[in-house]
Amino acid sequence: MKQITEESAIYPHKSISGFIQEVRLRKITGSHKLTSKTLALVTDLIAKEPWQTAEELLALIRTQGSFLAAALPHDIVIANTIRRIMKIVREEYDSSRVVHFDDAQSILSLHKLVTQGADPERGNYSKPMPGLKTALVDHLSEIGTELETTAENISAQAAEHIHSAELIMTIGYSRAVEKFLKKAAESRPIEVVVVECAPDCLGQQLAANLGRAKIQTTLISDAAIFAIMSRINKIIIGTHSVLANGGLQALCGTYSLALSAKHFSVPVIVLAPTYKLTPVHLCNYEQGDFNILNNTEAVLPFKCPAARFTKAYNPLFDYVPPELVTLFITNNGANAPSYVYRLISELYHPEDNQL
């Protein structure tokens, strides 16, 4: 039994290895699919792997999650899902312990919230708890259902933030932004300006999709952002992740867009499902730590004579500081950037920030 434990601590589970391979081969793409698949994998581990206590389960999830985080460091939603599940394990254990100790104490009161830090048993997950596995599987099933309705919950808020005849600007391609704008256009006329986001030109796909939905759409180059910004009423964008301070790890070009918006006092609204909120801070601006460098063939062809003497970089992400963001719209409602810390504290446990 000891040998099995040591091997499981050294090597990732077979399903985890297969998932890493599929992501690296781009067979699984998109934040929503990555989150759903990670949730399904960990739920399967909880249901099938042998464990007796919450402490053993947390160690199992942390070990396998560290493999995922190390192998796929730029897919932050995977690590976020691991942290969220670990918080759920802690909550279910504490809830079961309180119920078994005294049913009357299961109702949180102000006195309990103040004094629960003095509970000597709180934070001790080494005791077996009957029914914990069933409760966890049921809770994770509810989280899966919540994930399925995330896009609908965000787009349902479109009518509150987009008004009739407004000129909206966005950048690149985001499924959440596309659904949000289409939902708003169902009840009122709007006009959308899409920045193409060269050199990958992802905005062309969004402009084409909005055009097919009978939404008046204009596609512009990145260089025209500042020139047209004075006519824009709102900016609505997606993001790769939301950092702990409320800053964004967003598509390259978003920073210049946000700076232009600040100059003309145009509100910047970010659509961010809760699984994109991460307790990670920006450690430095080094490209290797924060960014991914894409192929530069579209800008500087490899066979071009200038390629022999030129170094070209095509970063995938921009860091956008929180002071350039006006509002976050999550599947649970709208919040200011200063409230992100509170949302993160509700989603993750402080001990799980570092996997």
Output the six-digit token pair for 317.
């992400």
Look at residue 196 and tell me whether its pLDDT is greater than 70: yes
CATH 3.40.50.10470 residue ranges for the chain:
162-347
Output the six-digit token pair for 323.
């002071």
Whats the size of the chain, residue-wise? 355
Output the six-digit token pair for 258.
């946000």
Q: How many CB atoms lie within 10 A of CB 144?
A: 14
Phi, psi of 320, deg, nearest 5: -115, 115
Give the mean pLDDT of the chain.
Answer: 87
The residues, any chain, with a CB within 8 Å of residue 54's CB and separated by 6 or more, are 89, 90, 92, 93, 125, 126, 129, 132
Q: Tell me the C-alpha distance between 44 and 47, whole Å.
A: 5
88-102 pLDDT tens trace: 999 988 887 665 544
Report residue 113's pLDDT band, with 50, 70 and 90 as the boundaries. Answer: low
Give the DSSP per-residue string, 312-327: ---BSEEEE-GGG--E
Look at residue 9 and tell me whether its pLDDT is greater than 70: no
**Could you tell me whether strands 248-251 and 268-271 are parallel, antiparallel, or unpaired per DSSP bridges?**
unpaired
- The per-residue pLDDT for 298 is 78
Q: Tell me the C-alpha distance between 175 and 9, whole Å.
A: 38
Q: Tell me the C-alpha distance between 111 and 120, whole Å.
A: 16
Output the six-digit token pair for 160.
């509150």
30-81 pLDDT tens trace: 899 999 999 999 999 999 888 889 999 999 999 999 999 999 988 999 999 9
Domain 14-98+124-147 CATH class label: mainly alpha
Q: Where are the alpha helices (DSSP H) in the chain?
A: 2-10, 14-24, 31-48, 54-71, 76-101, 110-115, 132-148, 150-155, 158-161, 175-185, 203-212, 225-228, 254-263, 287-290, 340-347
pTM of the model: 0.86
279-335 pLDDT tens trace: 988 776 554 567 888 888 878 888 888 888 888 888 889 899 999 999 999 999 999
The SS3 assignment for 168 reads strand
Give the DSSP per-residue string, 78-136: HHHHHHHHHHHHHHHHHHHHHHHH-GGGGS--HHHHHHGGG-TTTT---SB-TTHHHHH
Report residue 3's pLDDT band, with 50, 70 and 90 as the boundaries. Answer: very low
Q: Distance between the two ends of the chain, CA-based, in angstroms?
A: 25
CATH 1.20.120.420 residue ranges for the chain:
14-98+124-147
CATH of domain 162-347: 3.40.50.10470
The residue with greater pLDDT, 299 or 165, is 165
Q: Work out the burial of residue 41: count CB atoms within 10 Å of its CB; fewer than 13 is exposed, 13-18 middle, 19 or more buried.
A: buried
Q: Tell me the C-alpha distance between 295 and 275, whole Å.
A: 28
